[in-house]
Structure 1
Amino acid sequence: MTTIAKMPLGNNGPLVSKIGLGCMRMSPVWGNPGTDETESIATIQAALDSGINFLNTGDFYASGHNELLVGKAIKGRRDDAFISVKFGGIIYGGQFIGLDLRPIAIKNFINYSLIRLGIDTIDLYQPCRLDNSVPIEDVIGTIADLIKEGKVRHIGVSEITADQLRRANSVHPITALEIGYSLADRQIESDLLPTAKELGIGVVAFANTAEGLLTGDMKAPLPANAYQNHFPRFQGENLKKNLEKVEVLKQMAKQKGYTPTQLAIAWVNAQGDHIMPLVSMNRRARLTENVQAMGIEFTPDELNTLNTHFSPGAILGGTYLQR
């Protein structure tokens, strides 16, 4: 298996694996049925055994179910894992209904997370997004207070703008930015990514396959119950034209002896030493393939082909990433 490289999470952050494990899909969220608990725990432990130490979860993933899973998986091996937790999302009836970023709520959320995870300190704690309902200074300032209390080690942010990132970093040094990034979603390259690099903030990039578009397995039309149907990218002529675009990725993958998913992950990995692909896995069977992607190299011509073919705006229709 490919040796997992390490990267500093930001200029002054800790060393973490260059690939992270997204644990969300192990739980029943967003229409996903989740995975057998035994398999989920085994997958997390296999990832830790392979050298992947960055584990990403959220306190609102299936109402704490995901944190409980992670807690069971890391029991007895806390030092092997770097735990990243998102907070603030309010889910009711399986639907996202808003945010609660009040300082009093944050202080409540973290205590529940610590209990579910079975740990004393969360390594990276971050609001899942910001909506201006509470001043950024109050949100980040509250997490900074939790650092002083020993409940948090580092502050992260997720799905925010470049201006919000600057404001957050002015309150307390931000260690990591979690954001969707893929060949199909490159809008952050114009402003947000350069800002993170300028400020010395690590980038945790999720949705590397653009909600399945870049896997090479998607066909039009999607099944009626597919959650992607909610987004214009996956509807009607948009989906047909977008899948035609993906043929180039499929052909390159075949020529190189890999899968389109592996190339999609490898492209994100190639965008910088400060960028970590955050890959969702819920079965051990996917681990070898995804880790192998981290060893894929592109020639300058191959990168030029991908960057040109998937230039910003080339994929039609938006997703929730274009809020």
Structure 2
Amino acid sequence: MTTTTTITKIGLGKNGPLVSKLGLGCMRMSPVWGSKGNDENESIATIQQALDSGINFLNTGDFYGHGHNELLVGKAIKGRRDDAFISVKFGGIIYGGQFRGLDLRPIAIKNFIDYSLVRLGIDTIDLYQPCRLDNSVPLEDVIGTVADLIKEGKVRYLGVSEITADQLRKANSVHPVTALEIGYSLADRQIESELLPAAEELGIGVVAFANTAEGLLSGEMKAPLPANAYQNHFPRFQGENLVKNLEKVEVLKTMAKAKGSTPTQLAIAWVNAQGDHIMPLVSMSRRSRLPENMQAMEIRFTPEEMNTLNTHFAPGVMRGGTYLQR
């Protein structure tokens, strides 16, 4: 399947580089949260086809698949480093398939980055960010360490992920923050009250993941979920909560049918429409997914359609929390 869709470029924040308006999340290409990894050759081909299609923002983490994801990205970009903008998250400690906490000590960060550079086969990481903050280490020390790595030439830009508006302002006062990575979707709009306005005010780009709210907005989820589904850990996907939440998704399914699109495409398109400084970050591990996700970037909503979505999916209407609502 071929597509003529052209992915536009945006400035990542007011002082950042030009990147694709659609980002590629690489996490699911590796074994994470107990899942099996995907076919490695297909994953590499997907990254390369994304680069060929103008999607240059590749998102990974040093703890995805215990380094497997960085090795995979490294293989995919070999010989074409300049085509890719590499975003790496650090700090997560995974053992036995479980998230065990964070290690954000400066000495650990300096250790993490050298391993990442070797696995990726590059000299400089474009965007480097703590995966979240937990107050175990002063924010100034975490951000200051990345600032030191920027001075050393090992990192180009500072990013942050899954933090509060106050933490974002504080981090930006230590060193200019280029991008904020955060979960954002029609079903998860809690960041609209404080965090998004802060990012816009400070001129920080927003990399928005979980656009389908862990599959809730895909139109394909049915209650109850299979016993082995990772979503079962979160109240949103349990019992009557899931039944009621899926009823809300019917409106999205109806609109998608009328527009000749899929609910997933509309979910991505809605995030894309929230601002020129906001990048939908979409996880893909198969080339077959690229055309539909790229086409989602061309979907436009009438004022009436946007009003319907914003009203029907008003902040707080979804029942039950997820890990995004810590």
Taking structure 1 as the reference length, the TM-score comes to 1.00
Say which of 42, 45, 48 aligns to 1:45: 48
In structure 1, the residue matched to 2:218 is 215
Amino acid at match of 1:146: L
Length, aligned pairs only: 323
**1:123 offset after TM fit, Å?**
0.1
Higher mean C-alpha displacement, 276-285 vs 30-39:
30-39
Say which of 277, 301, 310 aligns to 1:307: 310
**1:184 offset after TM fit, Å?**
0.1
**1:82 offset after TM fit, Å?**
0.1
Query: Structure 2: any 5+ residue segments left out of the alignment?
Result: none
After superposition, give the CA deviation of every residue in 1:4-57 in whole Å (9 maximum; x if it has no partner): 000000000000000000000000101321211100000000000000000000
In structure 1, the residue matched to 2:26 is 23
Matched, 1:80 2:61: no
Matched, 1:146 2:149: yes
Q: Distance in 1 between matches of 2:237 and 2:94?
A: 24
Amino acid at match of 2:251: V
In structure 2, the residue matched to 1:266 is 269
In structure 2, the residue matched to 1:155 is 158
Q: Distance in 1 between matches of 2:36 and 2:230?
A: 12
Q: Distance in 1 between matches of 2:136 and 2:15?
A: 30
Amino acid at match of 2:96: G
After superposition, give the CA deviation of every residue in 1:87-118 in whole Å (9 maximum; x if it has no partner): 00000000000000000000000000000000
Alignment of 1:105-124 (within 5 A): 105-124=108-127
Amino acid at match of 1:320: Y
Amino acid at match of 2:286: R
Q: Distance in 1 between matches of 2:318 and 2:34?
A: 24
In structure 2, the residue matched to 1:227 is 230
Matched, 1:254 2:239: no
Q: Distance in 2 between matches of 1:60 and 1:212?
A: 23
Alignment of 1:68-107 (within 5 A): 68-107=71-110
Matched, 1:284 2:287: yes
In structure 2, the residue matched to 1:13 is 16
Q: Distance in 1 between matches of 2:288 and 2:301?
A: 25
**1:159 offset after TM fit, Å?**
0.1
Q: Distance in 2 between matches of 1:148 and 1:3?
A: 35
In structure 1, the residue matched to 2:241 is 238
Amino acid at match of 2:75: K
Q: Distance in 2 between matches of 1:241 and 1:191?
A: 27
Identity of aligned residues (%): 87
Amino acid at match of 2:94: I
- Helix, strand or coil at the partner of 1:62: helix
- Helix, strand or coil at the partner of 1:221: coil
Q: How big is the alpha-carbon RMSD for the aligned residues of Structure 1 and Structure 2?
A: 0.4
Amino acid at match of 1:229: N
After superposition, give the CA deviation of every residue in 1:290-313 in whole Å (9 maximum; x if it has no partner): 000000000000000000000001
Amino acid at match of 1:271: Q
Q: Distance in 2 between matches of 1:313 and 1:141?
A: 36
Matched, 1:57 2:57: no
Q: Distance in 1 between matches of 2:275 and 2:151?
A: 32
In structure 1, the residue matched to 2:133 is 130
- Helix, strand or coil at the partner of 1:34: coil
Taking structure 2 as the reference length, the TM-score comes to 0.99
In structure 2, the residue matched to 1:192 is 195
Q: Distance in 1 between matches of 2:248 and 2:9?
A: 33
Q: Distance in 2 between matches of 1:308 and 1:31?
A: 36
Q: Distance in 2 between matches of 1:192 and 1:4?
A: 27
Q: Distance in 2 between matches of 1:33 and 1:315?
A: 30
In structure 2, the residue matched to 1:164 is 167
**1:2 offset after TM fit, Å?**
1.2
Q: Distance in 1 between matches of 2:248 and 2:47?
A: 34
